[in-house]
Amino acid sequence: MKRSVLFGILATVVVLIGLLIVGPQRIALAKNNTGDQELAHKLRENAGKAQNQITAFTFHNGETTFAGVGADENTEVEVGSVTKTFTTELLRQQVESGDIKLDTTVGDIIDVEGSEVADVTMLELAEHTSGLPRLDKDNFKIFGNLFAANPYLGITQEDIFDAARTASLSGRGEENYSNFGVALLGQLLAVNANADYADLVEDNILDPAEMNATYVGGETNIAADAPRGLAANGKETAPWGMDGYAPAGSIRSTAADMSKYASFLLENSEFEFGWFPEESGGYWHNGGTYGFSTMLIVNPEKNEAFFTSGNTPQGVEELAVAIRPGGNS
């Protein structure tokens, strides 16, 4: 049985046990709409049964439109694995500047002599073809961390590097989604730039894009009153602040700022790696934490973008598709 399948089964078991322990609380869609009423109507009509608050934007025909259900464009959310697109954008920038190459290896940046990961390239890490597992076995203890509020708490950059040194590769050359691989990529880019990952994001993406409400959520910089999501049982979740795994899923943002990010990408990125092709054109990446779900679609050919985020684990992928031109009414 594949590790990712086993992890999914174990995660489901843990959620069910959690429901038995604390008891389910009903998750209901918020009653108030915000922003553009037509877009808000689309969000409400296509919302899933386990959704509470939703925030969204569309960028189409040169116009940005915001709407929400129980939230607005300034509501802070965890974008989860959409963070990975920030990491691969940093890779693109370092390649463009000549500071790194796509075929630069892990061993070119840190000491991993004798490790299987030594000749893994930056491109392999970005494209999830390195052979690394979804999560590293040294730091991520399935049963221990799934019961914790934040499964990535306490894992440092050096922990990621140490885990890489002992990691075994499986299915190298095949696409196998890896949080571990992108966390390693981001931390390697930070070392290559002689900077912290959070500073790298701020200096090279957030500041140029004027994303003033966006930040890398670490273990100490998330405000006590920052928005929390709702777990599957309806209970409020703790924020996912990360250190070592930050490049894989720690960014907190707003729909307003994510619209700026989309514009930044449309103007600068080439979408060569780190994204998944969208059937109707463009590229997408989704993200999920214990309390949030996010979807971003960007289409450079049509110069358009669509974003949805909700404060529960209920996926918002179909919502993002629905708010595109020609989507569900």
* Count of domains forming the chain: 1
87, with CB counted inside 10 A (0-12, 13-18, 19+), is buried
- The length of the chain in residues reads 329
pLDDT-derived band at 147 (thresholds 50, 70, 90) equals: very low
pLDDT-derived band at 288 (thresholds 50, 70, 90) equals: very high
Domain hosting residue 281, numbered range: 3-322
How many Å apart are CA 43 and CA 52, to the nearest integer? 11
What is the CATH number for 38? 3.40.710.10
In the prediction, which pLDDT does 141 show? Answer: 54
Buried b (16+ CB within 10 A) or exposed e, 203-215: ebbbeebebebbb
In the prediction, which pLDDT does 279 show? Answer: 85
Quick check: 4 pLDDT over 50?
no
In the prediction, which pLDDT does 10 show? Answer: 46
Taking all residues of the chain, what is their mean pLDDT, rounded to a whole number? Answer: 91
Asked whether residue 173 is assigned to any structural domain, the reply reads yes
Asked whether residue 327 is assigned to any structural domain, the reply reads no
Asked whether residue 329 is assigned to any structural domain, the reply reads no
- pLDDT tens, 101-110? 999 999 999 9
Asked whether residue 328 is assigned to any structural domain, the reply reads no
pTM of this structure: 0.91
In the prediction, which pLDDT does 322 show? Answer: 96
